Amino acid sequence: MLVAFVAVAALLIGRLAWVQVVWGPDLSAAAELQRSRVYVDPARRGEITDREGKQMAYTMQARSLTVSPIVLRKELTTQERQAMEIEGIDAKTIDSQLDAKVEDRLRTMATEIPKLIEEGGESSREASGDVDSDEILDKLHADTHYEVLVRNVDPDVAERVAGEFHGVASDHQDIRQYPNGAIGENIIGKVSMDGQGQFGLEASGDSILTGINGRSTEDVSANGQPIPGTLRDAVPAIHGSNVTLTVDLDLQTYVQQLLEQSKANSGAKSAEAVVLDVATGEVLAMANTDTIDPNGDLEKQLDKGKNFENPSISHPFEPGSVAKIITAAAAIEEGITTADEVHTVPGSIQMSGVTVNDAWVHGDLPYTTAGIFGKSSNVGTLMLAQELGEEKYARYLDAFGIGQPTGIELPNESAGLSPALEQWSGGTFANLPIGQGMSWTTLQMASVYQALANDGERIEPRIIESVVDENGEPVEQPEAERTQVVSPETAKTTVDMFRSVFQEDPAGFNSGTAQGQGIEGYQLAGKTGTAQKVDPDTGAYSQDKFWITFAGIAPSDDPRFVVAVMLDEPQRGPLEGGAGGQSSAPVFREIASWLINRDNIPMSPEADTIVLQEQ
C-alpha cells in the first residue's frame, strides 16, 4: 500500500510539474487571451472649413452596436448553466434545456434591439435606417468573433441597448457630415463607411485629417464582467488635424448654381469654372456641373449622371483662342512687336504645308497687335509666332506651366498635354499658338491668366489655406512655387491689350470678340475661345462640336480675380432663354460682377479706346 501510495503521489507530482513547467506558459498565455479585451478609442477626423470658417465637412459622434457571436454564445451558455444550477436543477435537465434557453436569449435580443432604436425617436431611426430582426439574429448565430449589428445609432440609445443586453458593445463611430450637400463636393470628396477618404481632399488629405486611434487592454471574467485593476497599456488617441480651405463657400455656391443654370440654358454637356485670387494664386471657387450630393441616395444620383469627379483639374481640353495670350506675352517680352504696331494680316497663312484661315473671310487688313488678339485673328497670331520661333515659344509654354500639373493639393490632377519640342511635326507650330494640338485643364487656364495679372509672376495654385493640429498648433505646409514668366512691364502691356476683347465700337472697327459682355464702370481683360473637338469617327476636327472657353481678369486696372470658364458643346447662349451667344463670356461677366459687388471694388478710371484696326 505504501509503495502504491508513493507511486501515485509521484505520478501526480510529475503530472503537476509537467503542467506547471512545460504547459504552464502556453496555458497562461491562452488564459490571458481568453479573458483580455482590447478596446480601441477611435481618433476623431479633422473638420474642413472654408476660408471664413464655415463648415464644409465635420464628424458627428454615433455608435455601432457590435458583438463577438462566438464569445457571446459561450458566455450566455455559462450564465444559463449557473442560473439553473443555483435553482437546483439536475445536470441532465440542464443539458437538455441549455441550448433552448440560449436561443431564447438570442431571439429576444434580435427582437428587442430594433424596438429600442425605434423608441429612440425620429433622429435615431433616420441615422440607423431600417433595422431588421432577422438580420440581427443571423449575425448573432455567425461563427465569427466580430459582427456589427447596427450602425449609426444615437449614443444614448446605444448605451441603453448595451446596458440591457449582455455582450453587446456600444462602439464609438464617426459619421461624416457634409452640411452643404453637393456644394463643393467635387473639392471635398467623401469618406467610406470605414472612415477612409475616397474622393477629393478627403482622399488626398487623408493622412492629415485622420488621427491615430488610442487603445487599452482590460481583463474580464467568464461572464464578461471587467476585472478591477487590470486596465493596462492605455494609449490616448491623437485626433486628426483641421483643414481650412482657400475656398469661399458663398462664392462656390453661387458659381456652382450659375454653372447648372448655364448648362441648362445652353444645352451644354457640362460646364466648369475656376476663380483664383490674383495676388496669391489661391482657389476661391472650383466648380463643375453634375456634382453629387453625398447626403442623398448615391445610386439614384449616379444613375442620373451625377458623379464625384472634379473635371476642373482632371479632364483637360483644347483651350482654343484663350491660349493666344501666351503668344502675345512672349512677342511683347521678346521685343518682336508693340501693342500699337500695325500688321498687314491676310485671310490665311501657310505654315509647314498647313493652311490656316481666320474664322471669317477677309482680304488684307491693317490690324494692330492689340487688334490681332481683340479680333482673335488666327493668321495674325501665327505671324507673330513665326517671328518668335519654335524654340522660344516652347520655352514660354513651359514657363506658363503648360503640360505640367499645377501642384494643387487634390487627387487625380491631369498635367494636360503639351508635346515636347523634339516631337513637333510640320503642322504642330501651326496649331499650338492658336490653342490647338495641346490640352489644358480649367485650373491651368486660370493659372496662365493669374501669372499675367500678377505682374508676370505665376504662383502655383493652392486650395489649402492652413492646417491646425488637435492642440491648435499650425502644421507647416509646402510653399507654393513662384515663376517669373515675363517682366511686370510685359504683363501690364499684355493685360491692357486684352481689354480690347470687351471693347465696343458702333462702326465695328474697334470691337472685340466679347463686345457687350463688359461691366459698366470697370475695366476688364480676357479672351474668348472656340476649340474644335476631334471627331472620333474621322479623327479630324469636328465642324459642329466645340469647347467654348473664356478666361478673364477683373478689374484689369487693379487685378484682383481671375475667372476661367469652359462650356462643353453648348447649343445656345448660357443666359436665360439661351441668350448671350454661343460664348462663355456671359458666365465670366456674371461671376466677375458678383465679386465686384461683394467686395465693393471702386470703379476703374475711364480708359482710352484701343485701336484695333487702322481705318
**pLDDT value of position 91:** 87
Coil, strand or helix at 56? strand
Write down the pLDDT at residue 205: 95
Q: Return the percentage of the chain with pLDDT > 90, whole number.
A: 71
Residue by residue, what is the 3-state secondary structure of 250-318?
Answer: HHHHHHHHHHHHHHHHHCCCEEEEEEEECCCCEEEEEEECCECCCCCCHHHHHHCCCECCCHHHHCCEC
What share of the chain has pLDDT > 70, as a percent? 95
Joined grid coordinates for residue 560: 484682383
What value does the mean pLDDT take over residues 391-399?
A: 97
Q: How confident is the model at residue 30 (pLDDT cuts 50, 70, 90)?
A: low
- The pLDDT value recorded for residue 156 is 87
Q: CA 325 → CA 270, 380, 555, 558, distances in Å?
A: 25, 13, 17, 19
Q: How far apart are CA 133 and CA 237, in angstroms?
A: 34
Give residues with Cβ within 8 angstroms of 133, minimum separation 6: 110, 111, 113, 114
278 to each of 57, 275, 514, 549, 592, how far by Cα in Å?
A: 27, 9, 22, 19, 13
3-state secondary structure 460-513: CCECEEEEECCCCCECCCCCCCEEECCCHHHHHHHHHHHHHHHCCCCCCCCCCC
Contacts of 301 (CB under 8 A, 6+ apart): 292, 293
Determine which helix (DSSP H) or strand (DSSP E) holds 542, and give its type and residue range.
Answer: strand 541-554
pLDDT digits (tens, 9 = 90+) for 60-100: 888 889 999 999 999 999 999 998 988 888 888 888 999 99
Residue 120: per-residue pLDDT: 75
What are the tens digits of pLDDT across the range 341-369? 999 999 999 988 889 999 999 999 999 99
Inform me whether the pLDDT recorded for 604 exceeds 90: yes
User: In the prediction, which pLDDT does 245 show?
Assistant: 98
- Of 79-93, 214-228, 586-600, give the range with the top mean pLDDT: 586-600
DSSP 86-99: HTT--HHHHHHHHH
What are the distances in angstroms from CA 254 to CA 268, 551, 577, 592? Answer: 19, 18, 19, 11
How confident is the model at residue 254, as a pLDDT?
A: 98
Lowest mean pLDDT segment, chosen from 85-99, 137-151, 207-221, 484-498: 207-221
Q: How far apart are CA 269 and CA 571, in angstroms?
A: 9
Who's near 343: CB < 8 A, 6+ residues apart?
A: 337, 366, 367, 368, 369, 372, 380, 383, 384
pLDDT band at 127 (very low <50, low <70, confident <90, very high): low
What domains sit in the chain, N to C, each tagged with a CATH number?
37-59+174-245 (3.90.1310.10), 62-167 (no CATH), 249-293+310-463+475-599 (3.40.710.10)
Q: 484663350: which residue's cell? A: 322
Burial (CB count <10 Å: 0-12, 13-18, 19+), residue 479 = exposed
* Antiparallel, parallel or unpaired: β 365-368 and 342-345: antiparallel
**How far is residue 464 from each of residues 37, 138, 211, 314, measured CA to CA in Å?**
41, 46, 18, 18
Q: How confident is the model at residue 252 (pLDDT cuts 50, 70, 90)?
A: very high
Could you read off the pLDDT of 508-540 as tens digits, one per residue? 899 999 999 999 999 999 999 999 998 888 888
- List, as one string, the DSSP characters of 116-145: HHHHT-HHHHHHH----HHHHHHHHT-SSS
| CA–CA dist 544, 556 (Å, integer) | 33
Residues that are catalytic: 321
The model's pTM: 0.83
| pLDDT exceeds cutoff 90 at 408 | yes
Cis peptide bond upstream of 555, omega within 30 = yes
pLDDT for residue 151: 85
pLDDT in tens, 568-587: 999 999 999 999 888 999 99
**Weakest-pLDDT range from 28-42, 61-75, 317-331:** 28-42
Q: Output Rg (C-alpha) for the chain, integer angstroms.
A: 35
Q: How far apart are CA 467 and CA 208, in angstroms?
A: 8
**C-alpha to C-alpha distance for 153 and 171, rounded to whole angstroms:** 10
Q: Are strands 214-219 and 232-235 parallel, antiparallel or unpaired?
A: antiparallel
Distances (CA, A) of 216 to 221, 234, 293: 17, 4, 38
CA–CA separation, 226 vs 35, rounded Å? 9
**Under the phi-then-psi rule, with left for phi > 0, alpha for psi from -120 to 50, and beta for the rest, what region is 250?**
alpha
Confidence of residue 388 (pLDDT cuts 50, 70, 90): very high
Q: What is the pLDDT of residues 476-485, one digit of tens each?
A: 999 999 999 9
Distance CA 188, CA 48 (A): 8
**Total length of the chain:** 615
Q: How far apart are CA 169 and CA 153, in angstroms?
A: 12
506 Cβ neighbours under 8 A, 6+ residues apart: none
Which residues, 6+ apart, have CB-to-CB distance to 356 below 8 Å? 348, 349, 378, 379, 382, 430, 434
How far apart, in Å, are the Cα atoms of 457 and each of 68, 286, 401, 494? 61, 21, 12, 13
Whole-number Å distance between alpha carbons of 444 and 463: 14
Under 8 Å CB-to-CB from 245, ≥6 apart: which residues? 48, 49, 50, 51, 56, 187, 201, 463, 464, 465
The Cα–Cα gap between 67 and 319 comes to: 57
CA distance 410 to 395: 27
Give SS3 for 374. Answer: helix
DSSP 551-592: EEEESSSS--EEEEEEEES-SS-SSGGG-S-S-SHHHHHHHH
Mean pLDDT computed over every residue of the chain: 91
- pLDDT-derived band of residue 223, with 50, 70 and 90 as boundaries? low
